Amino acid sequence: MKENKITISHIADSLGVSSMSVSRALSGQAGVSDKLRNKVLEKAKELKYAKCKKASSISVLVLHQKALIDDNSNFSTRVQGIEKVLQQNDAQYDLEFVDKDKQNNMYLPYKLSKGTYYDGVILLGRFSLQYADFISNKINNLVFYTGYSPSYDYDSVWFNFNNSAYKQCKYLIDNNHKNIGYLGDMSRFRNKEMLMGITTCLEDYNIEVKNEFFINMKNNYRNEVIKLFSQKNRPTSIICGSDFIALELIKILHDIKINVPENVSIIGTGNTQISSLSIPSLTTADLNIEYSCEVVVDLLLKKISNPCKPKENISIYTSLVKRDSVRKI
């Protein structure tokens, strides 16, 4: 016999409140207290309530924190990818740029401040936890896309830079490199992940980790690069935190008469358009952005349909793109 489906009325009757209050609590609308909202969500989870809503009636707010002007990364590709998948799902959406000052001042996105209702929100990029909490109080279903931090207690989709750096390092080892360095902003979580991947790979293959070959871009890294390559003991290869960093490094090395890949091999991260146009063409890690955008939207739709589901952290693996900036020694 088919089990009866749990409805909003069941939740309302069990709590002794109106169906309208339950509906507002489940959808994140105003008009109910935080205490009642939490009670409703707990009861819905207890009763295994699943909200079914057609994608065509869903409205999504996409917030991003990086200007698209002069974008030298693949950030704009992610924005366009999210839009494409939302359109394919026939979902309504609005896109808004929220800079750091607006985040710090707890700025309410424009259409949200005008009373527009949204079923869910995608935060694209590195938003502060305080701002995510602020938006989550206004829109019930929130998914982070990239900019991951262990402090987040939200659904999130990000790129597995730990695994990516391991693969990048192993490729260099397969090409007989042992003096392997790294260049990136070590204050960012993704770069800490990359450092972990590189050092783990070196240890797995019993190769010495040489911390002096790891350069933090927070410092005057140009001078550090020049100083490092003026020494006899220097890297034969360097993994970079992004394609743009890799191209900056190639330019610095060119200025001091060190050629890539003849004198040193370079690997980037991101597989941006400039990586294939550089001379030499850049070996890099492709982030599989198109697929990740599908995962983000699917995760948000799942969250909207089942607000009580456990939080998920989905990491997308990268794919190594082999080009001309790495040579075998």
* Same-domain status, 165 and 282: yes
Q: Is 186 helix (H, G, I), strand (E, B) or coil?
A: coil
* Same-domain status, 88 and 30: no
* Same-domain status, 296 and 152: yes
User: Based on the structure, what is the number of domains in the chain?
Assistant: 3
Residue 61 falls inside a structural domain: yes
- Quote the longest CA-to-CA distance of the chain: 78
* Same-domain status, 248 and 169: yes
Residue 99 falls inside a structural domain: yes
How far is residue 242 CA from its own chain's centroid? 14
With tokens 């105003």, the residue in question is 30
Whether a cis peptide bond, with omega within 30° of 0, leads into 109 is no
* Same-domain status, 154 and 293: yes
Residue 2 pLDDT: 40
* Same-domain status, 191 and 275: yes
* Same-domain status, 275 and 299: no
* Same-domain status, 225 and 118: no
Residue 94 pLDDT: 96
Containing structural domain, residue 14: 8-46
* Same-domain status, 165 and 283: yes
Residue 84 pLDDT: 94
Q: Write down the pTM of the prediction.
A: 0.81
* Same-domain status, 118 and 86: yes
Per-residue pLDDT 10s for the chain (329 aa) are 344 567 787 888 889 988 778 877 776 666 778 788 888 888 887 887 766 555 557 999 999 987 665 556 788 899 999 999 999 988 999 999 999 999 999 999 999 999 899 999 999 988 999 999 999 999 989 999 987 788 889 999 999 999 999 999 999 999 999 999 999 998 888 899 999 999 999 999 999 999 999 999 877 899 999 999 999 999 999 999 999 999 999 999 999 999 999 999 999 999 998 999 999 999 999 999 999 999 999 999 999 988 888 899 999 999 999 999 999 99
3-state helix, strand, coil split of the chain in percent (to 5) is 45, 15, 40
Residue 328 falls inside a structural domain: no
Residue 52 pLDDT: 55
Residue 41 pLDDT: 82
Over the range 252-287, which residues count as b (16 or more CB within 10 Å of their CB) and which as e? bbeeeebebbeebbbbbbbbbebbeebebebbbbbb
Residue 195 and residue 201: Cα distance in Å, rounded?
10
Q: Is the dihedral of CA 198, 200, 203, 204 positive or negative?
A: negative
Residue 92 and residue 39: Cα distance in Å, rounded?
29
Residue 155 pLDDT: 96
Residue 266 falls inside a structural domain: yes
Residue 32 falls inside a structural domain: yes
Residue 323 falls inside a structural domain: no
Q: Is 109 helix (H, G, I), strand (E, B) or coil?
A: coil
* Same-domain status, 20 and 130: no
Q: What is the CATH number of the domain that holds 302?
A: 3.40.50.2300
Residue 259 falls inside a structural domain: yes
Which has the closest alpha carbon to 178: 231, 225, 236? 236
* Same-domain status, 103 and 144: yes
Residue 115 falls inside a structural domain: yes
